[in-house]
Every structure is written in C-alpha cells, then in structure tokens.
Amino acid sequence: MAAAKNENKEKKPNIFVRMGRRLKETFSELKRVTWPTFPKVVKATCVVLVVVVVFTVVVTCINVGFKELLDLVTGIEGIK
C-alpha cells in the first residue's frame, strides 16, 4: 500500500531545476515590462530629492523647537 502512494505521487524536480525555471520566468517577465523613459526617471528622482530635503528641514525645525522648549522648561543650556 505504501508503494502505491509513492508511485502516484509526482516527483518534484530538484532545487536547481526549479531555480533555473524561476530565473527563466523572471527574465521573460522583465522583457515584458514597460520601462520609463530617461526624462521620467530624472523627473521622479528630482521629486524624491525635493521631498527628502523638505522633510529634513521640517524635522530639523521641530527638533530645534523641542530643544529650545526643553531648555526653557528646565532652565539648563544645552550643548551649542
């Protein structure tokens, strides 16, 4: 009875065959991707950089504000 179960069960290909198939599928999928043009990439990069700079300035201002508030409340001068 145990032998019948083993014969009915499909044998899985080894790990290297499965990895090779996955890699082949990945590359075929990447060929179908519509890649952005260079100007679109530059524009998106600039937008990201501007947003990062704006958030850096905002967080720095909040940090300085909290430091000044802490100095005011505690009366202790921080490191300058």
* CA distance readout (Å), 18 to 12, 13, 23, 72: 9, 6, 9, 65
pLDDT for the residue numbered 64: 96
The predicted pLDDT at position 20 comes to 92
User: pLDDT tens, 10-60?
Assistant: 788 888 999 999 999 999 999 899 989 999 999 999 999 999 999 999 999
**What pLDDT was estimated at residue 11?**
82
